Structure 1
Amino acid sequence: MRQDHQHYHTDLAAVDDRRLNPSQAADLDTIINRSRRQVLKGGLALAAIGLFGGGLLGCQRSPGTPGSAPLLGFTGVAAQTAADFDQVLVAEGYSARPFFSWGDAVLDNAPAWLDDASQDWQAQLLQAGDNHDGMHFFPFEDAPNTHGLLVINHEYINPTLHPDGLTFTHLADGRRQRPVDQVRKEQAAHGVSVLEIRRDAEGQWQRVAGSRLHRRISAMTPMAIGGPLAGDLRMRTASDPSGTEVLGTLNNCSMGVTPWGTYLTCEENFHNYFVNRDAADHATRPTHQRYGIGQDQHSAYYAWESVDPRFDATPDPAVEYQGHVNEPNRFGWVVEIDPFDPDSKPIKRTAMGRLGRECSVVSLGDDGRMAVYSGDDARGEYVWKFVPDGRHDASNPSASRHLLDTGTLYAARFDEDGHGHWLPLIWGQNGLTEDNGFADQQAVLLNARGAADILGATPMDRPEWVAVHPDSREVYVTLTNNRDRGSRFPVDAANPRANNQHGQIVRWREANADPAATTFEWDVFLLAGDQPGALDADGQPLPDNLIGNIQGDIFSSPDGLAFDGAGRLWIQTDSDDEAAHTVNTGCNQLLCADPQTREVRRFLVGPRGGEITGITWTPDYRTLWINVQHPGISYPASDGHSRPRSTTVVITHDQGKVIGS
């Protein structure tokens, strides 16, 4: 037997970046012909600057119009390329301070965090989880800009969670064994934190002691299964024969907020937690194959199955429902949480489809119809929206509580002429039949990726966050990167670069600005990357695939995305800041863009090794929170030796102005 320890750095980001779409490589002639058609239409530059020559955007705002103040009212900060950069740098006139870090108290009886990470899983259940990601500020009506709930996702864990990293014992049969206390602590560090916070007389935000609203939701929290899959045979396991209740939520990346005041947390790369060692059985299960459930010790990154049998999806014919073979089917959903009711049970909304979902962003029409947009964050996956059957009634918000349990799921097809179609995932239509492996609508929702393959949705370059413009309802999506573009997936107008290391942002307008429309027009808002003429670390010109068309400050790998109330587009990045292709973009960043002029300005830079993610404001937009996930050196202590901690950062203007103005 051998014991290994994984220390501060982890390669889980690389694991998350596995290609799961089985689409085969386009042949060279196909790629050349696609490129030739682009050139005939004006070249890839045409796609990059907008297929409609700038006519797509119709933002209804006064900032930036002649005679008014520019939309971007701050001085940008420089990129930070030093290997030892270990702080948060924010634009002049602003202050950024650590507010809520991994291990900080959530519940009142939480012990103080210890720098040696020696606290057990019971303590972790009372404290902030790891790897802060998507979040939202829910204001209280009586003091909306000074008092509210801050709800924060905890996506996964770093080896820093334990004093000496993750411990594995390698057994003779090739399996790995984990210490039970480590696994329990890791499960406790996943999920969601709910904090009641208030701004004090000195203008500083503080956690409110004694609040009954503080809550920790983890990978062990009981949750209801709602919608079409509730009670379905394919959701039943030995531990839940009813198929109506699941323990926990996993890999909570980004999120959304409903018009009726609930929080939608999204389960992204859940496949990393499961294993099915039965190759013959695995071959018969599309929901295992298409979603990346692996067959060996390397697929279940944390080896939780060695302690918790529900993460072993290998069938056991001797046990009811073959043991836990269906447990992976119970993850990959949107989970609705009522942050104002700490006794409420979270609900997994299965009508919205099962994905490696990054976000669930709502666009609400004037008539109460709504769309919920999502990216599916893996190379070659799709952009989605869900349209509920019912309408939201603002005068009776409680009536919308189960609006997400019925509706239509769509996958996007981005045509090369700048038009697009939403392809409905409806059983019995367009090849979604029993002959193609879909026995019913529930099967379609369980294997939404496979259904979209058949429908001909456009494989995208890792779709991430979605943002909806507050006035025009134009929709933007970040496409982080895709090194398989041009080899496994053909170059196309929406994904115009082979070996796409830097990513792009695509936007569209629904027909008649109707969230429920089935057609749209789209363009590429920008291609991320270096400016023309940029050089690498050796002073040599960079290849064309690393050159973008950003009008302003450069960045790599857009990820987080959100609009503020004035129509500023805020962009967060998740690049590998130690890779050769990021030598000039440096550490990850928060930037701000003007959707009309396309100008991009760098507002904030984070510490080396950390992703910048999660973004929310007070209603007056004078307080901003962002997250620094998995910093690599010692942030927020920034002393060069302390254990790094994922941290929520609070940002204000020194004179109390609106952020970014």
Structure 2
Amino acid sequence: MKLSRSQFLKYLGKGIGALTLAKSGMLFGSSKQFRTLPSLAAKKGGFPKFQPIDPSDRDSLILPDGYRYNTIALYGDRINSKGDTFGFNSDFNCFLPFVGKKDSGLLWNNHETLGALEYFVNGYDSHKPGPNLRTDQQIEKYLYALGGSVISVSKKNGDWTMTPDSKYGRRIHGLTEFRLTGPAAGSPAVGNKNKVFGTFANCSGGLTFWNTVLSCEENYDYVTEPCKLTNETHYGWVIEVDPFDSESVPVKHTALGRFAHENAATVLSTSGKLVVYMGDDAKDQHIYKYVSKNSYNPSLGAGNSKLLEEGTLYAANFDKGIWVSLDFDSSEILRNSKKENGENRFLSQADVLVYCPDAAKTLGATPMDRPEDIEIHPLDGTVFVALTNNDKHGNLFGQIIRILEKDGDHAGLEFDFEVFVAGGKRSGFAAPDNLAFDGSGNLWMVTDMSGKNLNRSVYKKFGNNGVFVIPTSGPDSGRAFQFGSSPIGAELTGLWFTPDQNELFISVQHPGETTKDYRNPTSHWPHGGDSIPKSGVVAIYLK
């Protein structure tokens, strides 16, 4: 069974709009003569025209004239009556309205890493050379700050606010128990474990058709070493959380593979199979998709979670335009692959999934330039992928590509692709990261220039990280218009529209990441003055 377009858009929270089939983008940048965005003409339930802003290096969240924002939750805010607190370094957002209520619901927010600002969290100076001297108490505090938060939010007096004592408020963190599913669960490849503890390095994610959240473990190795965790095979998975059931045990779906997951974009194929697109955010790594064995059945509700336990994982070969199956039983190449010492590289499908990048490389998947967010165009079904950059090959500014599945079938094995828009001086952006579509089919994108590059050398012209809007049709197709600029050292992440398209949830992650002297942080967002910076999630509105 295939979901209707209106149902699909409802689940994505993107709204409904009209758009002709998208055309190929051109490598044009925004210029002074295009100071408004025609394809965002004012309409009911959508953003109106705006005057694009210029790049900035100011320590502010800057928006176009006519827009404002307020903070919803910041690190350390209480989220329930038990005293749980909002985690650190906010990333992916996912809003799930309560039934019949567009102005209240649950907001999931990822918490990725602590990084250099760990000093502000538990007093440990991670810049200090020498052995890892973190105490058990510091490690516990470190792990608790990561993972994700479920918070209850509602719109009151025109502003989105959090309810700090909601029964739905919940933390999923680096100490939480998880159930493993899929072929690797209980296998020797994961130490014969069916249960594991902790999630962290949660970058982006996705939403299922049965209203659960998918959150993706990315650079888990940034956390396992400082927290003295020994079994890395328990991390690097896609997790699933039911935000409406605070007593439910979250799961890690091993059938989706283990790698530096950026996100998980879900769509239904023409035959009703669940398809999940994923990128491995590392240099020279791969793009994947998972196709369920069985078809989606709306009457099963949360029972559809089983679709994520049994299916086929594929990696993309762009040279041939094909999806390569990472199935141990049907691949002689995988079964015969050897390590340098002559031992078999893979002994089972569990090994293939646990060491997924090795399997993809063995089967000839194409190495890419840091595949980050992947999103499905809500009106024509094409697949947009942000390739952030890869300085190993001189790709300093990244690009966004579009995958066109053969016959529009997301479960198919053949595809074509094109470069939709490339970063650089002409386009006005560098290092594309998270993506989202509005109801008119415009692509919203945030950038992820690293702290070491911000406002330096060839990156200086781009200013701080920002938000851009890129039409996917019409005369401005492929033309980037800057909508927002982040505080110093921060990146903006987790774009998610309210159902009526009148507000946009977005995270401000690691403001002041460029700090070297903790007595003098480079950012004081959001409170200003001499305050220390705090990450968090905000809502953007019309004034």
Aligned match of 1:180 in 129, 132, 136?
136
TM-aligned CA deviation for residue 74 of structure 1: 2.4
**How is 1:601-612 mapped onto 2 (pairs within 5 angstroms)?**
601-612=481-492
TM-aligned CA deviation for residue 273 of structure 1: 3.2
Q: Can you list the C-alpha shifts for 1:545-596, whole angstroms capped at 9, x where unaligned?
A: xxxxx2xxx1110001111222111100011323312111101111111112
Q: Can you list the C-alpha shifts for 1:458-511, whole angstroms capped at 9, x where unaligned?
A: 1111100001011111000101111101xxxxxxxxxxxxx1111000111111
Residue equivalent to 2:209: 259
The 1:65/1:603 distance shift into structure 2, 3 A limit, reads: closer
Q: Can you list the C-alpha shifts for 1:415-441, whole angstroms capped at 9, x where unaligned?
A: 2xxx61111101141511144311111
Q: Can you list the C-alpha shifts for 1:173-197, whole angstroms capped at 9, x where unaligned?
A: x743213322111111001100111
The 1:182/1:458 distance shift into structure 2, 3 A limit, reads: same
Corresponding position: 1:385 with 2:289: yes
Corresponding position: 1:141 with 2:113: no
Cα distance in 1, alignment partners of residues 406 and 528 from structure 2: 53
**How is 1:570-589 mapped onto 2 (pairs within 5 angstroms)?**
570-576=444-450, 577-589=454-466
* Range moving further from structure 2, 152-161 or 565-574: 152-161
Contact 1:636 1:645 in 2 (8 A): yes
Cα distance in 2, alignment partners of residues 335 and 562 from structure 1: 21
TM-aligned CA deviation for residue 165 of structure 1: 4.5
Contact 1:570 1:590 in 2 (8 A): yes
Instruction: Give the partner amino acid of 2:133.
Output: Q
Instruction: Give the partner amino acid of 2:50.
Output: T
TM-aligned CA deviation for residue 92 of structure 1: 1.6
Residue equivalent to 2:324: 423
TM-aligned CA deviation for residue 75 of structure 1: 2.5
Cα distance in 2, alignment partners of residues 606 and 206 from structure 1: 21
Residue equivalent to 2:4: none
Residue equivalent to 1:473: 381
Corresponding position: 1:403 with 2:403: no
Aligned match of 1:446 in 341, 354, 361?
354
* Range moving further from structure 2, 247-256 or 180-189: 180-189
TM-aligned CA deviation for residue 620 of structure 1: 1.0
Corresponding position: 1:631 with 2:539: no
TM-aligned CA deviation for residue 73 of structure 1: 4.2
Residue equivalent to 1:245: 195
**How is 1:586-625 mapped onto 2 (pairs within 5 angstroms)?**
586-596=463-473, 597-625=477-505
TM-aligned CA deviation for residue 399 of structure 1: 3.2
The 1:604/1:505 distance shift into structure 2, 3 A limit, reads: same
Aligned sequence identity (%): 35
TM-aligned CA deviation for residue 640 of structure 1: 4.2
Aligned match of 1:89 in 45, 62, 67?
62
The 1:352/1:454 distance shift into structure 2, 3 A limit, reads: same
Equivalent residue of 2:222, what SS?
Answer: helix
TM-aligned CA deviation for residue 454 of structure 1: 1.2
Contact 2:265 2:277 in 1 (8 A): yes
Instruction: Give the partner amino acid of 1:427.
Output: F
Residue equivalent to 1:32: none
The 1:175/1:587 distance shift into structure 2, 3 A limit, reads: closer
Corresponding position: 1:151 with 2:108: yes
Contact 2:152 2:162 in 1 (8 A): yes
Q: Can you list the C-alpha shifts for 1:326-357, whole angstroms capped at 9, x where unaligned?
A: x2111111101111100001100001111111
Contact 2:207 2:266 in 1 (8 A): yes
The 1:196/1:49 distance shift into structure 2, 3 A limit, reads: same
Q: Can you list the C-alpha shifts for 1:524-544, whole angstroms capped at 9, x where unaligned?
A: 01110113xxxxxxxxxxxxx
Contact 1:336 1:346 in 2 (8 A): yes
The 1:209/1:609 distance shift into structure 2, 3 A limit, reads: closer
Cα distance in 2, alignment partners of residues 394 and 640 from structure 1: 52
Equivalent residue of 2:346, what SS?
Answer: coil
Corresponding position: 1:432 with 2:324: no
Cα distance in 2, alignment partners of residues 500 and 470 from structure 1: 29
Instruction: Give the partner amino acid of 2:324.
Output: L
TM-aligned CA deviation for residue 155 of structure 1: 0.3
Residue equivalent to 2:182: 227
Structure 1: unaligned runs, 5 residues or longer: 1-46, 51-62, 111-125, 237-241, 275-299, 306-310, 313-326, 486-498, 532-549, 655-661
Contact 2:184 2:349 in 1 (8 A): no
Cα distance in 2, alignment partners of residues 142 and 73 from structure 1: 26
Residue equivalent to 1:641: 530
Residue equivalent to 1:105: 78
Cα distance in 2, alignment partners of residues 453 and 522 from structure 1: 20
Larger Rg: 1
Aligned match of 1:371 in 267, 275, 278?
275
TM-aligned CA deviation for residue 394 of structure 1: 2.1
Cα distance in 1, alignment partners of residues 352 and 25 from structure 2: 34
TM-score (norm 2): 0.85
Instruction: Give the partner amino acid of 1:75.
Output: F
Cα distance in 2, alignment partners of residues 369 and 267 from structure 1: 24
Q: How many equivalent pairs are there? A: 485
TM-aligned CA deviation for residue 634 of structure 1: 3.5
Cα distance in 1, alignment partners of residues 236 and 526 from structure 2: 35
* Range moving further from structure 2, 617-626 or 187-196: 617-626
Contact 2:79 2:163 in 1 (8 A): no
TM-aligned CA deviation for residue 635 of structure 1: 4.1
Cα distance in 2, alignment partners of residues 65 and 273 from structure 1: 41
Residue equivalent to 2:399: 504
Contact 1:507 1:524 in 2 (8 A): yes
The 1:197/1:64 distance shift into structure 2, 3 A limit, reads: closer
Equivalent residue of 2:68, what SS?
Answer: strand
RMSD: 2.4
